[in-house]
Amino acid sequence: MTPAELAREVDARCRLRGEFLLRSGRTATEYFDKYRFEADPLLLDALTGRMAALVPPGTQVLAGLEMGGIAVVTALGRHTGLPCAFVRKTAKAYGTAKLAEGAEIAGRQVLVVEDVVTSGGQIAISTRQLRELGATIDSALCVIDRQEGGAAALAADGITLRALLTRSDLDAARG
Q: Is 36 annotated as a binding residue?
A: no
Contact 113, 74 (CB under 8 A): no
Residue 117 annotated as part of some ligand binding site: yes
Q: Which helix (H) or strand (E) holds 129?
A: helix 121-132
> Is 29 known as a binding-site position?
no
What is the rounded CA–CA span in Å between residue 130 and residue 124?
A: 10
* 122 labeled binding residue: yes
Was 10 annotated as part of a binding site?
A: no
Query: Does 114 show up as a binding residue in the annotation?
Result: yes
Determine whether the annotation assigns residue 95 to a binding site: no
Q: How far is CA 147 from the centre of its chain?
A: 14
Determine whether the annotation assigns residue 13 to a binding site.
no
147 annotated ligand binder? no
**CA atoms of 133 and 146, how far apart (whole Å):** 29
Tell whether residue 88 is among the known ligand binding residues: yes
Burial annotation 104-119 (CB, 10 A radius, 16+ → b, else e): ebeebbbbbbbbbbbb
Q: Is 23 annotated as a binding residue?
A: yes
Q: Is 101 known to sit in a ligand binding site?
A: no
Q: Has 81 been labeled as part of a binding site?
A: no
**CA gap 15, 41 in Å, rounded:** 18
Torsion 81-78-150-147 (CA) sign: positive
d(CA 101, CA 86): 5
Confirm whether residue 98 is marked as ligand binding: no
> Binding-site residues, please?
23, 88-89, 92, 114-122, 146
For the annotated binding site for 5-phospho-alpha-D-ribose 1-diphosphate, the residues are 23, 88-89, 92, 114-122
Bind-site residues for orotate: 118, 146
